[in-house]
Amino acid sequence: MPLITPWRSRALTAALLAAVLTTSTACGDDAPGTSAGGSIKIGLLASLSGTYQAVGTEIRDGFQLYLDTHDGKLGGRQVDLIVADEGNGAQTAVPAATKLLKQDRVSALTGIVGGGSVAGVTPVLNETKVPLVGSNGRPELKDVSRVWHTSYLSDEPGAAIAQHVRDNVKGSVYAIGPDYQGGWDELRGFTDAFGKIGGKLANADGKTTFTPFPATTNFLPYFARIKASGAAAVYTFYAGSAAVDFVKQYAQSEIKDIPLYAAGFLTEGGVLNAQGEAARDIYSVLNYSPDLDNAENRAFVAAWKAKHDGSPTTYALASYDAAAVLDRAIGAAGSDPTPEAINTAIGQLGQIASPRGTWQFSTTTHSPVQKWYLRQVRQDGRALSNTVVGDLATVGR
Amino acid sequence: MTAVAAGTNRIDPYLIPALDGVAYGLLVFVAASGLVFCFGVANILNLAHGLLYAIGGYTAAALLDGGWASLALALAVGVLAAAAAGVLLAGLLTPVATGNHLSQALLTFGVALAGGSLLVAGFGPDNPQVQVPAALEGSVMVAGHRYAAYRLVFIVVAAVLAAALYLVVRRTRAGMLVRAAVDDPEMVACLGVSPARIRAGVLAAAGALAGAAGVLGAPIIGPGTGTADTVLLLSLVVVVLGGLGSMAGTLLAALAIGEIQTLGVALLPSAAPFLLFAAMAAVLAVRARGLAGRWRSA
């Protein structure tokens, strides 16, 4: 037998393997949860492993911080917090949620990082009639009767900053983002609102440029197009390691002097440390910044810094607020806080005081009607930090 | 505006993507040449090749601190670690019959999965950041355009590496053995050179190349959970496009991939997700032997 098989068969093997690799890298009944002793079971589902581990950890720590600063009680009842790992998405989230809802029979569920996980868990929530006070991912949902979110809808950051960009940028704006549901929503929020008030996109065909996700790690070809388009500013949304690549390469590229506006996740949390100097001066829009000047925020940030390195993120804040929502709702649900009673009580909360400023649930989407802030990456002591430089629109529907 | 000015304006925006394509292509060349050697010379299908690159990448992330000394240290450690991993692979492959691609694929893929998990366990699931020497952190002007200094220097270094590789293969005894093993493996075995030795040597060399690419290329294709897959995939595409026999073919294929991934994306952004594989399919359909002929022509 010859030691070397014919070249054709090896080329075929290589081609087949390439094909395989490409496809594989593409991803209660009566009174549960309460007991006679006045305690209540709450389930927290968040990504404690995998791609979104950093966000999941912030969400767990934000909720825990509220409990720690309120004697471990919500609505006057001792909380038995059961934490489960969401993993990378619905595939791992649904079994974990099913255990929390059916075996542990929690009275309410909170957390959940991914929008896909929320969509996957919703049928189990409807079956067990338990409310979800989600603190991050929020997909398009038909029925939100038991689903509440303390975070935001994905198209709101862009909608909130559009007027500011229109007023301050003299010329057209180039819109670019990652090619997946979250990216489409974030960019659509901006381009729709921007177009309505007469803003013009610099993109060649007048439509947002979407980059393959997560395959794109080199943004230089896109920067060349932005340069050629003559744009006066760029609007973008990236998160995680794509945000680090985008910002670092932007700062070294030929468009480094074009102002960069972004949804706040571009420079939020750990990615800002990784970006370092490259992130300086970037404008972003978010519903929270650790330097907001109000009593709730000062207490929140001080309590956070006593336990953790660095400042809290919007993820930790949303989870902290989810605990605050449950605190008031369980208290208002009376002597027998069934999941049904808690759900009804959440709908009647009205204004909620929070470190981000006062907000309330929208009656139609069950997500916050809240104020958005314009932030800029500036020097804060020894580190760079997102500093609030102004208020933007109050958004929610 | 004159016609001449309009002409340069049409080309001008694509200068930087074209230049970046060279940087990317040379990185792919250095990373893939190890796999091509393994496959072409030792007839080993090494699906753990991406892992060897990732070892270099993680080494760079762990050791680089912004100074030149740390770059030299990371390069030495990364090359040695990846070469050692290559020798280990050669040892594991000893019982597997030469040319039995299915067993080799299963074994090396298993090693790739286990090794990938070990790297994640050791370095965490986040993509670690790589700090290049401070002098290369900034950007320089090239023909009126701003371009990352590190990438410009990388082009020079990778070109030197490629030239050195060419000289080693053409002018040294080891290179002669390698070429002989491609042309007539039975005769090389008859001459008294143990196939096991060639296998270990080739895998060590492949590991060293991948490790060097991993360290130097870390600011371009950075270490992370998906790095091993990305590099293996690109290397396999190089094999398909460039064939196994010649360095010229490998270089041509790698540069083509670089330009497709940068210039191609700049010209046709809407086709970005499938440009590379469309090119691969087109080459397979038109010329199943790859872009270049066999080794002798090199």
What is the ipTM, given to two decimal places? Answer: 0.79
Q: What would the pLDDT profile of A126-179 be if each residue is shown by its tens digit?
A: 999 999 999 998 888 888 999 999 999 989 999 999 999 999 999 999 999 999
Closest CA to A154 of A300, A365, A316, A352: A365
**Contact (CB<8Å) B125/A212:** no
Residues 4-43 of chain B with CB under 8 A from chain A are 12-14, 16-17, 20, 24, 39, 43
Q: What would the pLDDT profile of A330-340 be if each residue is shown by its tens digit?
A: 999 988 899 99
Q: How confident is the model at residue B99 (pLDDT cuts 50, 70, 90)?
A: low
Q: Is the pLDDT of residue B4 over 60?
A: no
What angle, rounded to 10 degrees, do the helices at B247-259 and B149-171 form?
160
Residues 220-279 of chain B with CB under 8 A from chain A are 220-222, 224-226, 229-230, 232-233, 236-237, 239-240, 243-245, 261-266, 269, 272-273, 277
* Residue bearing tokens 């949304």: A237
Buried b (16+ CB within 10 A) or exposed e, A193-227: bbeeeebebbbeeeebbbbeebbbbbbbbbbbbbb
Q: Do the domains spanning A39-152+293-366 and A156-286+374-395 agree at the CATH topology level? A: yes
**So what's the pLDDT on residue A28?**
39
**So what's the pLDDT on residue A20?**
64
Q: Is the pLDDT of residue A349 over 80?
A: yes
Q: Is the pLDDT of residue B97 over 80?
A: no
Q: Do B105 and B197 touch, CB atoms closer than 8 A?
A: no
Identify each DSSP E strand in chain A by its residue range: 39-46, 73-74, 77-85, 108-111, 132-134, 147-149, 173-178, 209-211, 233-236, 260-263, 283-286, 360-361, 368-380, 383-395
**Contact (CB<8Å) B99/A15:** no
Residues ≥6 apart with Cβ < 8 Å to B156: none
Class of domain A39-152+293-366: alpha beta
First to last CA, chain B: 46
If one compares B274 and A342, the residue with the highest pLDDT of the two is A342
Average pLDDT estimate for A343-369:
94
Q: How confident is the model at residue A8 (pLDDT cuts 50, 70, 90)?
A: low
Buried b (16+ CB within 10 A) or exposed e, A57-93: bbbbbbbbbbbebeeebbbebebbbbbbbbbbbbebb
CATH of A156-286+374-395, picked from 2.40.50.140, 3.40.50.300, 3.40.50.2300, 3.30.160.100, is 3.40.50.2300
Task: Please give the DSSP secondary-structure letter assigned to residue A102.
Answer: I
Name the closest residue on chain A to residue B225, using Cα atoms: A51
Highest mean pLDDT among A203-207, B19-23, B172-176: B19-23
Residues ≥6 apart with Cβ < 8 Å to B69: none
CA A137 to CA A150: how far, in whole Å?
10
Q: Which domain holds residue B190?
A: 17-297
Average pLDDT estimate for A219-236:
93
Answer whether the bond into residue A214 is a cis peptide, omega within 30°: yes
Residues 174-213 of chain B with CB under 8 A from chain A are 182, 185-186, 189, 195
Indicate the average pLDDT of chain B.
Answer: 85
**Contact (CB<8Å) A3/B43:** yes
**Contact (CB<8Å) B236/A18:** yes
Rg (CA), chain A: 23
CA B171 to CA A339: how far, in whole Å?
78
CA A145 to CA A126: how far, in whole Å?
9
Q: Do A134 and A151 touch, CB atoms closer than 8 A?
A: yes
Q: What would the pLDDT profile of A84-121 be if each residue is shown by its tens digit?
A: 999 888 899 999 999 999 999 999 999 999 888 999 99
**So what's the pLDDT on residue B2?**
37
What is the pTM assigned to this prediction? 0.82
Domain residue ranges in chain A = 39-152+293-366, 156-286+374-395
Q: Is the pLDDT of residue A30 over 60?
A: no
Name the closest residue on chain A to residue B242, using Cα atoms: A11
Strand duo A108-111 + A132-134: pairing: parallel
Neighbour count for residue B286 (Cβ, 10 Å)? 7
Q: Is the pLDDT of residue B298 over 50?
A: no
Least confident of A28-37, A265-274, B44-53, B71-80: A28-37
Instruction: Give domain status of residue B10, yes or no.
Output: no
Q: How confident is the model at residue B5 (pLDDT cuts 50, 70, 90)?
A: very low
CA A101 to CA A87: how far, in whole Å?
17
Closest CA to B220 of A271, A213, A249, A243: A249
**So what's the pLDDT on residue A3?**
44
CA A162 to CA A58: how far, in whole Å?
29
Helices (H), A28-111: 53-68, 90-98
Q: Is the pLDDT of residue A322 over 90?
A: yes
Nearest to B13 among A4, A228, A270 (CB): A228
Beta pairing partners, A384: A379
Report percent pLDDT > 90 for chain B. Answer: 42
Task: Please give the DSSP secondary-structure letter assigned to residue A202.
Answer: -
Structure-block tokens of residue A155: 């198209």
Task: Name the helix (H) or strand (E) containing B141.
Answer: strand B139-142
CA A82 to CA A101: how far, in whole Å?
11
Q: How far is CA A141 from the centre of its chain?
A: 16
CA distance B71 to chain A (A): 19
Q: How many domains does chain B have?
A: 1
Task: Please give the DSSP secondary-structure letter assigned to residue A84.
Answer: E
CA distance A346 to chain B (A): 36
Closest CA to A66 of A133, A139, A122, A153: A133
Indicate the average pLDDT of chain A.
Answer: 89
Structure-block tokens of residue B193: 């050179």
DSSP, collapsed to helix, strand or coil, labels residue A384 as: strand
Buried b (16+ CB within 10 A) or exposed e, A122-159: bebbeebbbbbbbbbbbbeeeebebbbbbbbbbbbbbb
**So what's the pLDDT on residue A105?**
94
Nearest to B233 among A18, A50, A214 (CB): A18
Average pLDDT estimate for A209-221:
87
**Contact (CB<8Å) B185/A224:** no
**So what's the pLDDT on residue B169?**
81
Nearest to A241 among B20, B99, B224 (CB): B224
**Contact (CB<8Å) A218/B146:** no
What angle, rounded to 10 degrees, do the helices at A53-68 and A314-332 form?
40
**Contact (CB<8Å) B233/A22:** yes
Q: Is the pLDDT of residue A212 over 80?
A: yes
Residues 120-159 of chain B with CB under 8 A from chain A are 125-127, 129, 138-139, 145-149
Average pLDDT estimate for B186-193:
82
